[in-house]
Amino acid sequence: MKSISARQSGIIVFLTILANKILVLPSAMYEKSKTDSIFALIAIFAFELLVLACFFALKKAYPEQNLKEILSKKMGCVAAKVIIFAFLIFFLFKTMLTYAVLYVYLKDLVYQDEFGFLALVCLFPVVNHAVVCGLRAMGRTFELFYYIVLVGVLFCLCIAFFTNISMPNFFVASPLEIFHSGFRHIFAFGDYLVLFLFIDKIKLKKGEEKKIFLFALVGIILVLAIFIIFYAKYQVTAFMHNNALADLLVFSVQFNAIGRLDIIAMLTIMTLGLFQLEIFQAAFCESFVQIFDKLSVKYGVIVFDILFLVIYLVLIKKYEIMLSFATDYLVYFAILTNIVLPVLIYVLSRRHKKETYDEKND
């Protein structure tokens, strides 16, 4: 079986942590709880680190089995497929949200016009090819571009200090407003769920959990830094700026002979968006082949493309509708996938550990 290393798994986690959080999320959360959105963000990240711990516990208990085999052993085949189907729906809409945010960014700052057909023609063949090539090929590509992406994000953060910024004012929102802000945007998270679907494809030696944890920590720190600097730059008008990472460079895009610097943000965001689409579509296809185990990934890609075209281009159509759908309806579905399912998996891993201990004693 083609597997990926702990380092490649950590980079995948790093990329998913940045998904849907470095463009529209800072301004969206600001509307409800102002700069105190940082506290909601920290609370969600802290809980999701516990989800990562659940994955490590499950991987230790079932080092070679995939998610369907694990769940089937404990809950039966039908229940396992229902849970994996929930993953499939989650990653379908996760891909749609990522695409919507990336498309609007490029339309507003690059093309200045509608280019929906061109975006699909240019983007999806690349994403489809990456998914068909497999997780190992994707992991190697991510490993190659990791430092380029990291430097791009750090560059944007550093240049922001050459603009007018001041310490943001905290403790301006009530605890209920902070909770509501985090709750409404919970669908933008669920960053470690891809690991559960790829659990049998991750080669994890003893002690290598730290590698994945460190990559996750880097991603969390970068997101927090983007939020803090963004609020320091736009203390009153943050709700008006929907492209946080790119907007950090506003008023500093011309450096004498150096030229425009916002091209760095654009290339970084485009690279991140492409990789994130590949990861989420790969997670969808992995869910698909675990449900329909007689079919290959290619069928999953075809089904994904059809569903995406029908749901996004025919039913949703607009970016604003997609965001509203994610914050008004998908939030409740995300509670199931981001919270209930990891807790259930943790219980299963603990039960397996107890059963193994009892068998040894007998």
Lookup result for tokens 């002690």: 207
pLDDT for 68-104, tens place per residue?
A: 999 888 888 999 999 999 999 999 999 999 999 998 8
Cα-based distances in Å from 315 to 121, 318, 321: 20, 9, 10
Mean pLDDT of 199-221: 93
Q: In this structure, is residue 292 part of a structural domain?
A: yes
Lookup result for tokens 């404990």: 74
pLDDT of 354 > 70? The answer is: no
Owning domain of residue 242 = 6-361
pLDDT for 315-344, tens place per residue?
A: 777 888 888 899 989 999 999 999 898 888
Q: In this structure, is residue 281 part of a structural domain?
A: yes
| pLDDT > 90: percent of the chain | 59
pLDDT of 201 > 90? The answer is: yes
pTM for the complete prediction? 0.92
Q: In this structure, is residue 341 part of a structural domain?
A: yes
Lookup result for tokens 């994996």: 84
Cα-based distances in Å from 281 to 51, 127, 211, 269, 302: 21, 8, 24, 18, 11
Banded pLDDT at 143 (limits 50, 70, 90): very high
How many structural domains compose the chain?
1
What pLDDT was estimated at residue 228? 94
pLDDT of 310 > 70? The answer is: yes
Alpha-carbon 240 to chain mean position:
23
Q: In this structure, is residue 265 part of a structural domain?
A: yes
Residue 219: which region, alpha, beta or left (left: phi > 0; alpha: psi -120 to 50)? alpha
Q: Which of 13, 30, 4 is nearest to 228 (CA)?
A: 30
Residue 260, φ and ψ in degrees, nearest 5: -75, 135
pLDDT of 55 > 60? The answer is: yes
What pLDDT was estimated at residue 361? 47
* 172 contacts 35 by C-beta, under 8 angstroms: yes
Say which CATH number the domain at 140 has.
Answer: 1.20.1740.10
Q: In this structure, is residue 1 part of a structural domain?
A: no
